[in-house]
Structure 1
Amino acid sequence: MRDDMIRTRQREIAAEHLLFKLIEYVESRDPGLLDFLEASLSHLGDPAKDDSKDDEGVREIARRMIAGARAQGTG
């Protein structure tokens, strides 16, 4: 089980890195992606069907990712 958790964490780190690099690449060539992504957040939600469901928590993570991309000078 521990190995599964480690592998999941590693995949999340790798996916986040690649996503940031993709956002950086697109934003540098066609500014506006970050604004577009930010405007879409009201449609973002947590698909969980149990007590762990937290739509606002998911949106807050996305907001922080967008803010991080902006802070790195991509937006």
Structure 2
Amino acid sequence: MSDAITETRHREIAVEHLLFWTMRYVEEQHPGLLDSLEASLDKLGDPTPGSDKNDHAVRHIAAKMIAGARG
């Protein structure tokens, strides 16, 4: 695996971790955040043009993150 790919993977893991715990913290302080994020999923999509575009996969990942933050 190239250094750039490894660094990108590490960055993605770190960002997901920080986002997940931020979502949990904010939800505890301001209930309703996760409901609002869940309601916004229909606006989320994959910006990739062409055959690699998969809006459903992107929404599925986001939905799993929200479900995980709910505990």
TM-score, normalised relative to structure 1: 0.90
User: 1: CA distance between counterparts of 2:65 and 2:23?
Assistant: 10
Count residues in correspondence.
71
- C-alpha root-mean-square deviation of aligned residues, in Å? 1.0
Q: Would you identify which runs of 4 or more consecutive aligned residues in structure 1 move more than 6 Å? A: none
Instruction: Identify unmatched segments of 5+ residues in structure 2.
Output: none
Contact 2:24 2:70 in 1 (8 A): no
Q: Distance in 2 between matches of 1:43 and 1:29?
A: 25
On the 8 A contact 2:45/2:55 being kept in 1, the answer is yes
Unpaired runs of at least 5, structure 1: none
Cα shift readout 1:35-74 (whole Å, capped 9, x = no counterpart): 0000000000000012110000000000110111112xxx
Aligned-residue sequence identity (percent) comes to 59
Partner of 1:62: 62
